[in-house]
Amino acid sequence: MPHLLSRTIPRRWVRRLLGLFLLLFVAMVLLSLVVLDRLSQNLPSIEMLRNIQPSEKTVLFAADGDTLEEFYTQNRTVVALERIPIHLQVAVVSVEDRRFHEHYGIDLRRLVKIVLDNLAGRGRPGASTVTMQLARNLFPKVLPSEKTVVRKIREMILAVEIEKIYTKDEILAMYLNQIYLGRGTYGVQAAARLFFGKDVWDLEPAESTMIAGMIQLPERYSPFNHLEEAYQRRAVVLNAMVSAGKISRASAEAIAATKVVVADPAASQATAGFAAYFVEEVRKHLEQTYGADRLYTQGLRVWTTLVPRYQTWLEDAAAAHTAVLESEFEYPMTKARYDLLVAAGQRPPKAAYLQCAGLLQDVRTGAILAMMGGRDFADTKWNNAWQALRQPGSVFKPFVYLTALERGYTPASILLDTPFVLDTGASLWRPKNFSDRFRGPVTLRFALSRSINTPTAKLYLDFGLQPLLDNVHRLGITGELPLVPALFLGAGEVSLREVVGAYATFANHGVRVDQYLITRVETLDGEVLEQARIRQYEVLDPAEAYLMTDLLQTALREGTGRAARWRGFTKTGAGKTGTTNESTNAWFCGYTPSYCAGVWIGFEEPQPMGRNATGAHMALPIWAEFMGKIADEKGNEPFVRPPAMTEKLVCLRTGLLATAVCDSTTVEVFLPGSYPQAICSGDHRGEFGGRSGFDSSFDDLDDPEGDGGY
């Protein structure tokens, strides 16, 4: 060896050797550049990195400010770094990337140590810095989860680029808002709400360190799934914080001794399905207006009209009464049986049990305060309150009587409840009453309040279809209706939404308002994209609207709706029942000066519901139950009578001004100038003869309702 070392190496060999080393070095550099260039292909551009926007959820708020629903592809709420507690920031950095503030995206010291550990067979700890993890989470398609050398190098390249553009605080903020923490939750704010039921800025150190520990394996260290393992992982985090010099050993021991209060896992699902039909209508509007991408990833803030307690009262009343009806009528398929079949894995192809829909509207603004489109959104998505068209039956009659009042009839006008046959040109039409009996002459008020069919049908002979069609269209019923005389008794199809809107016009002094579900839509930056505007249309004379309300007060107080009082509604109100032929649909729609609500009962595919399945028996109890609570909360409100209305004492047998010899009289209210001018002669035999419907001895008090469809 000494002899070899003592030899003189020719200078040309030295030059050749140095040249070879230089050539190898250049080749390695060029090869590295080529490899880096190849590995950098398809990575996000600098422009993309400068405009990183994490996916954010859209939040729907109820009228009281409570969160109603959230729409997202990732459950995330972005918060500024200054709102995230320092103890949470320190815990995350200590356990995930201790030298985060010292390196440039790649921790070379850690990387070398990990390589040596792996070569020595001492395990395979991770080498990803916070910035590298952020890169992987921001661009999962570009950096798939497979652990390969190529992916790791691409991850490092992207991390360096991110470090060039953003400050350390900006990177940490993005990381804490981006990281996945289990249960479909992304970011520390969503995790704080989910696991501890509080906002991230309210977290205590014991909770913050537990969240920091979950980052490595979210499902394994979830306090919902494995609380003891979550505590053990928290101890690792605390040791890392002590080793990093961020907290003292005594502080770590104090935190380790603190038990956390974990939220009820079921609580996060407590509102799932609540007001589902309302939420779905809002969702459809948002997606149609702003697009699916903006709805699910750009974080809109949406304030709605729904009042949660009203919705709860409606759903509770419907659930209780429909269960009673199913037991009473012994339907072959009930909601309870359907649920049992679903639980057994034998879901029927259709939800063939009895359905119910309800809708509550603010009379003056048109805001929809509660909506129930069916008994269970999971079973059927069809919204019977908003979408479905159903035969209205006698709930349609107020529109007929409104038309009669406009054409000179009064509440005291005498109508004939007698049999008649009409040749329609296609067939003979023979309207009949629910009781199959006829009362003879009755007042218009009595005919409407008892929902008697034949006198209503005879109004067709007086003014025909066109005036009626004009009125229902003015009141907001826009669908195509059949041009047949049976329309006077509720033929055709309308939606519950339209009926409620039309009845609300009576309560609102003849002013129809557009219905709406959303009060405001904003971006995350507070830009208002949509603001509700109350749109009003004067479609009725206020006196006519009041007179209709007065007539419907009688229907609720003395007529087919009289059961409302002992069902829970005891305040001032007006309303009307509705039943169709063979009891395939049952309705009730009623209102106070502030609120109008409608209820529909039936099967999705129309079929008879059973004997005595009338609006008074099927739908009215639900309306009375929840509207009774609303009216009790609001307090009694009278309907305000326009000053031009006139009161006169009239004879119930003739409809004329009463005299001392009349044996049956009442004080009746009239439109300005419309009261009868003639005075009753006192001879009540007249052309009608016999007893008439205003005689209470002839009133079918045992009939729950006078509807007979058409």
Q: What is the 3-state secondary structure (H, E, C) of 599-657?
A: EEEECCCCCCCCCCCCHHHHCHHHHHHHHHHHHHHHCCCCCCCCCCCEEEEEECCCCCE
Q: pLDDT: is 346 or 694 the higher one?
A: 346
**CATH fit for domain 79-269, picks 3.40.50.720, 1.10.3810.10, 3.40.50.2020, 3.40.50.920:** 1.10.3810.10
Q: Which residue is it, tokens 């060039």?
A: 164
**In this predicted structure, what is the pLDDT of residue 109?**
74
Give CATH for domain 305-710.
3.40.710.10
Q: pLDDT class for 647, splitting at 50, 70, 90?
A: very high
CA distance 708 to 710: 6
- pLDDT at res. 160: 82
Residue with tokens 């101890």: 235
Q: Tens of pLDDT along 423-452?
A: 877 788 888 887 778 899 999 999 999 999
**pLDDT (0 to 100) of residue 247:** 92
- Give the pLDDT of residue 562: 95
Contacts of 470 (CB under 8 A, 6+ apart): none
Q: What is the pLDDT of residue 142?
A: 61
Residues 512/473, Cβ–Cβ less than 8 Å: no
Q: Where are the domains of the chain?
A: 79-269, 305-710
- 180 contact partners, CB below 8 Å, separation of at least 6: 137, 186, 218
The rounded mean pLDDT for the chain is: 86
Residues 417, 447 contacting (CB under 8 angstroms): yes
Say if residue 571's pLDDT is above 90: yes
Q: Which residue has the tokens 């399945």?
A: 613
Specify whether the CB–CB gap between 174 and 134 falls below 8 A. yes
Task: Output the six-digit token pair for 330.
Answer: 């012994």
| Residue 667 β-bridge partners | 649
Measured between alpha carbons, how far is 593 from 520 in angstroms, rounded to an integer? 26
pLDDT value for 334:
95
DSSP 485: G
- Residue 9: predicted pLDDT: 67
How far apart are the C-alpha atoms of 43 and 49, rounded to whole Å? 10
| Long-range Cβ pairs for the range 189-198 (8 Å, 24+) | 189/76, 189/77, 189/78, 189/79, 190/75, 190/76, 190/77, 193/77, 194/75, 194/263, 194/268, 195/222, 195/223, 195/224, 195/262, 195/263, 196/260, 196/261, 196/262, 196/263, 197/263, 197/267
Say how far apart CA 80 and CA 83 lie, in whole Å.
6
Q: Is the pLDDT of residue 353 over 90?
A: yes
pLDDT at 405 (0 to 100): 96
How far is Cα of residue 65 from the mean position of the Cα atoms in its chain? Answer: 14
pLDDT for the residue numbered 695 = 41
Q: Read off the tokens for 639.
A: 């309907």
Q: What is the DSSP string of 290-319?
A: H-HHHHHHB--EEEE---HHHHHHHHHHHH
d(CA 50, CA 45): 9
Q: What share of the chain is helix, strand, coil (3-state, %, to 5)?
A: 45, 15, 40
- Residue with the larger pLDDT of the pair 708 and 173: 173
Instruction: Quote the pLDDT of residue 696.
Output: 36
Please write the tens of the pLDDT for every residue from 305-325. Answer: 999 999 999 999 999 999 999
pLDDT tens digits, one per residue of 489-509: 999 999 999 999 999 999 999
In 3D, which of 631, 562, 644 has the Cα closest to residue 594?
631
Q: What is the pLDDT of residues 200-228, one digit of tens each?
A: 999 999 999 999 999 999 989 999 989 99
DSSP 183-218: TTEESHHHHHHHHHSS-GGG--HHHHHHHHHHTTST
**Cα–Cα dist 695/703, whole Å:** 16
Which of 138, 180, 134 has the alpha carbon at shortest distance from 48? Answer: 138
Q: pLDDT at residue 72 above 90?
A: no
8 Å CB contact between 197 and 188: no
Q: Which residue has the higher pLDDT, 37 or 246?
A: 246
Q: What is the residue whose two structure tokens read 């990337």?
A: 97
User: Is there a contact between 494 and 398 (Cβ–Cβ < 8 Å)?
Assistant: no
Task: Give the pLDDT confidence score for residue 428 in this predicted structure.
Answer: 87
Q: Buried (b) or exposed (e) across 73-101, using 16+ Cβ within 10 A?
A: ebbbbbbebeebbebbbbbbbbbbbbebe
pLDDT over 80 (residue 24): no
256's CB contacts (< 8 A; 6+ apart) are 234, 235, 238
